[in-house]
Amino acid sequence: MANMLANIFGSSPVKPLEKHIEISYRCAKQLHGFFRAAVSGDWDTAASVRRDIEALEHEADDLKKEIRLHLPKSLFMPVPRQDLLELLLVQDKIANRTRDVSGLVLGRKLEIPASIAERFLDFVDRNIDAAKQARKSVRELDELFTAGFRGAEVDLVQKLIEELDRIETDTDDKQAALRAALFKIEKSLDPVDAVFMYQVIELTGEIADMAERVGRRLELLLSH
């Protein structure tokens, strides 16, 4: 039996959004193991991690569709529906970039030059840190809703976003240094590999960019 009092509450997007960033982060986190395997030339392990990445990316995609489906225009929410949908979109892109970069590396069995391997792995981990900080910020969403987007909770989220920005700046610095290091040795590499290596660095760096954009979207919610 349908009941009007039960139906008056649209399905809340808050918990699903928190779950979605959780999946996106777990997806990005796989890059840690993936690139370690790739650097050591263990392509079997890399392929198996890549399957996990694909599964998680699918999961994030399905949840994204699910959330969109349950967010009809007739919903009355404390924040604009559009802002939530855009937050969802950038959260999803964290998983997408993870899938893209791992696919590119595995598809070409791209060898990461030993002289920059250490620096590169450090760069990857910092990007994962950014995704983790994005997750930490989005996890405050239900508290934000409860507190009506004001007061101490807003300050707390703003601090989390500031930290996210610092991490992202850090990845930018690391990215520039990594590119410079690659430039020094590019002549010694296979030219095609060198081109793709630049692209891998670019794509990996976008994970932190997307994480930062999650922060920007959250900030927009705060300003309402």
Partner 1 sequence: MDQQVVYITLAALFGMFMAWGIGANDVANAMATSVGSKALTIKQAIIVAAIFEFLGAVLAGGEVTSTIRKGIVDTDLLTGTPELLVYGMLAALLAAGTWLFIASRNGWPVSTTHSIVGAIVGFAAVGIGVDAVQWGEVGKIVMSWIASPLTAGFIAFLIYQSVQRLILSQEDPLSRAKRYVPVYIFFAAFTITLVTILKGLKHVGLDISLRDSYVLAIAIAVAIALVGAYFINRIEADPKAEKKEHFVTVERVFGILMIVTACGMAFAHGSNDVANAIGPIAAVVSVAQNGAISAQSALPLWVLVLGGIGIVVGLATFGRHVIATVGKNITHLTPSRGFAAELAAATTIVIASGTGMPISTTHTLVGAVLGVGLARGIDAIDLRVVARIFVSWVVTIPAGAFLAIVFFYIFRAVLP
Summarize as ranges the residues that interact with partner 1 (CB under 8 A).
1-15, 71-72, 74-78, 139, 142-143, 145-154
Write down the residue that tokens 């920059």 correspond to. Answer: 116
Q: Which one-letter DSSP state was computed for residue 8?
A: T
Q: Which is nearer to partner 1, 71 or 207 (CB)?
A: 71
| 3-class secondary-structure state, position 148 | coil
Type of residue at 135: R
Q: Which is nearer to partner 1, 108 or 150 (CB)?
A: 150
Q: Which is nearer to partner 1, 144 or 178 (CB)?
A: 144
User: What are the distances in angstroms from CA 158 to CA 133, 152, 203, 219?
Assistant: 12, 10, 27, 7
Q: Two tokens at 116?
A: 């920059």
CA dist., res. 27 & res. 50, Å (int):
10
Least distance between partner 1 and beta carbon 69 (Å): 13
Is 153:140 a contact under the CB 8 Å cutoff?
yes
Least distance between partner 1 and beta carbon 22 (Å): 12
Query: Residue 164, CB half-sphere, CA atoms under 13 Å: how many?
Result: 28
Least distance between partner 1 and beta carbon 144 (Å): 10
Least distance between partner 1 and beta carbon 156 (Å): 8
Closest-CA residue to 162 (of 123, 218, 119)? 218
Distance of CA 55 to the CA centre of its chain: 15
Q: Which is nearer to partner 1, 107 or 148 (CB)?
A: 148
Least distance between partner 1 and beta carbon 167 (Å): 21
Is 127:207 a contact under the CB 8 Å cutoff?
yes
Q: Which is nearer to partner 1, 73 or 187 (CB)?
A: 73
Q: Two tokens at 168?
A: 């992202």
CA dist., res. 69 & res. 183, Å (int):
47
Q: Which is nearer to partner 1, 22 or 172 (CB)?
A: 22
Least distance between partner 1 and beta carbon 173 (Å): 31
Q: Which one-letter DSSP state was computed for residue 151?
A: T
